[in-house]
Structure 1
């Protein structure tokens, strides 16, 4: 079987990929992410995912390299970044309560031997409940999601912020669209469910 490389240092993406029971290594990509708010989110995340995969192609010249990146956007399709601290995170969440926002998750699979590239993206929307300032501060102090886009971790206590969620692949919300990845791997000759 070809070597599979996940171009990510994210423990969340690594946990998701482990669901497929395929051997892989995770390597931090050598890629600087630049979020251009003037580029459509679907194009942006595909570009970022591909950049991550391509950044490892020379180091792994005979591998299938997976890149994935995510942008969280508000109702006007403006990117919502990582807050970095408590006050900024509170401000972010305060703007989001009672509204629906969307994650765009880009996916790229690069065959570094042949140069063949597959890219795609998935969307997942989240609708926030109406929450008080005290509830928001309680959440932020308990989970400290300051390094997450939108200032919440859906795989943790962040689920308590939600009224509803909708999308084709829950894994894309966390950072890696597995349903699309399985199809890409099969095109590249890796049958996840055996021969």
Structure 2
């Protein structure tokens, strides 16, 4: 196998996840406008952004398989972005505490030839009722200011939840590896070049 694989990210979490598959790849940041389009559903937004990241890098790497991913946290129609600071993280968690929200992770694979492929994993996230003191202690410990929804479930954030319902837990961290492998197979990545 001599195909080049590029992961369109600078996220260390996504990089660490893809390393689990023992495939050679390069990670390159792909900057795209992450604002929600008017009337766009959370699921459509996740897929559009994953594809936009892959498409952006495919322009400069046309002979590579380019993988983009995006994650959207939604409570009803409200989307929670990366908070950027501790105060905003606390505000987001107080809105989510005691409620069930959806975490949608989308991936897009753009092969050198052929149509782009897409997949999506959705999780139903049931957060425990929390006090402001508990939320502030968590945020101070885990510093989830660069995480959509203001939690890191792969770290201390697991204690915020009663349940997480879905079928590929790596999607919660940011890259559903079962879907990544399937899309690579479908796109012919493992076939001799």
Same fold (TM over 0.5): yes
* Alpha carbons 1:52, 1:67 under 8 Å: kept: yes
Do structure 1's residue 123 and structure 2's residue 122 form an aligned pair? yes
- Residues of 2 paired with 1:36 and 1:58: CA distance? 23
Per the TM alignment, residue 122 of structure 1 is displaced from its structure 2 partner at its CA by 1.0
- What corresponds to 2:48 in structure 1? 47
- Residues of 2 paired with 1:16 and 1:37: CA distance? 32
- What corresponds to 2:67 in structure 1? 66
CA-based RMSD of the aligned residues comes to: 1.5
* Alpha carbons 1:109, 1:119 under 8 Å: kept: yes
- Residues of 2 paired with 1:73 and 1:136: CA distance? 19
Per the TM alignment, residue 5 of structure 1 is displaced from its structure 2 partner at its CA by 0.3
Unpaired runs of 5+ in structure 2? none
Per the TM alignment, residue 32 of structure 1 is displaced from its structure 2 partner at its CA by 2.4
Give the alignment's TM-score, normalised by structure 1.
0.92
- Residues of 2 paired with 1:33 and 1:191: CA distance? 32
Give the alignment's TM-score, normalised by structure 2.
0.93
**Pairwise mapping of residues 52-131 of structure 1 onto structure 2 (< 5 A)?**
52-74=53-75, 76-111=76-111, 113-131=112-130
**Pairwise mapping of residues 158-177 of structure 1 onto structure 2 (< 5 A)?**
158-177=157-176
* Cα deviation 1:13-43 (Å, max 9, x = unaligned): 0111111110000000142222236201221
* Alpha carbons 1:37, 1:78 under 8 Å: kept: no
Number of equivalenced pairs:
190
- Residues of 2 paired with 1:150 and 1:117: CA distance? 28
* Alpha carbons 2:47, 2:108 under 8 Å: kept: yes
Show structure 1 runs of 4+ deviating over 6 A. none
